Amino acid sequence: MQLNYKSISLPFEYPFTISNGRTKTHQPSLVVSLSLGNFTGFGEAPAIVYYDVTVEKMIEDLESKRAMVEKFALTDPARYWHYLHHLIPGSNFLIAALDIAGWDLYGNMKKKSLQSIWGISNQAGPKTDYTIGIDAATIMATKMRERDWPIYKIKVGTPEDLKLLSFLRTKSDKLFRVDANAGWTLDEALLIIPKLKELGVELIEQPLAKDNWEGMRILKEMNLIPLFADESCVTEKDVAKCALYFNGINIKLTKCGGITPARRMITEARSLGLQVMLGSMNESSVGSAALGQLHPLVDALDMDGPLLLEQDVATGLQYDNGLVIVSNQPGLGIHYTGIIKSEH
């Protein structure tokens, strides 16, 4: 196989703020391609400071293993993931990009969509939410008005959360989800969650710090609103423990290492009675298309990455009032619109 890659910076339509005051205007990301003959597959991994992942470090790791990455004879993408898992241990984001590219290449070679290869019918899955980052209440309400959507995921984690959500509820009767990004203490959560129940909040993502298991036990026993693990559920090894303290998990392809482990995580979560969400990390349509191929398998979807961007780098995904329309073209079903080439 021939490996190529490109560092990109995806501009957000609006500055994006989550708990602890973390704000971004652009999403740095690494797009990779794997080619074999006339066929090419694409993958993507965003750089996320919280996980100490940078594009520069991913490129460094990629270049150090380039010959071995290219050497593999792609006959089974799942075997390629295992190969990469041992070749680049601990580099889940980079492995995810290569795993996605491997699956896209494989689908293109077979002339089948990934859903077709996996035996998933191309049916309507759950609607995706649209994320509203932390801002002044009036600005958040304006964003909701400008993007009329059936489900909003509202970022919280400030001293004004209850006041903010109560105000937003007066401006919209649409479904609300809340994502605290580990921004609450247990005492804050105990106070806030009953109020969110009254406001009709559907689910809450990661209310407490990722390792506050005793706090999560207490919150789960309240049994008021489904609680979904995000920062607490990174890879496959976290699923079983999360089943004890959460009602659901948010699987993000870049965190867990790609499509291959995500499919196993969905299966395990189902066996443990967990609800499953697929989540975005602000990927373009390249990474988001991988979520799209899997989305009929899950209960909730946070696949709004391309909707948050001012510019995208691929076509093939469509959105219709929350519904995700995935192309039935081979592989991921996307067309990369930029020029991708090796920088070295």
CATH of the domain at 141: 3.20.20.120
Is 136 found in the same domain as 107? Answer: no
Domain that holds residue 24: 2-111
* Section 256-260 average pLDDT: 98
Q: Are residues 178 and 263 in the same domain?
A: yes
Domain-embedded: residue 255: yes
Q: Which residues pair with 300 in a beta bridge?
A: 277
Q: What pLDDT shows up at residue 21? A: 65
Which residue's structure tokens are 């196993």? 264
Residues in Cβ contact with 89 at an 8 Å cutoff, skipping those fewer than 6 apart: none
340 found inside a domain: no
Counts for the chain of helices (H) and strands (E), in that order: 14, 15
State the pLDDT at residue 338: 75
One domain for residues 145 and 294: yes
The model's pLDDT over 161-203, given as tens digits with 9 standing for 90+, comes to: 999 999 999 999 999 999 999 999 999 999 999 999 999 999 9
What percent of the chain is modeled with pLDDT above 70?
98
Decide if 331 is inside a domain: yes
| Interatomic CA distance for residues 270 and 298, integer angstroms | 9
The pLDDT value recorded for residue 123 is 76
- List Cβ neighbours of 214 (8 Å cut-off, separation of 6 or more): none
**What mean pLDDT comes out for the span 2-18?**
91
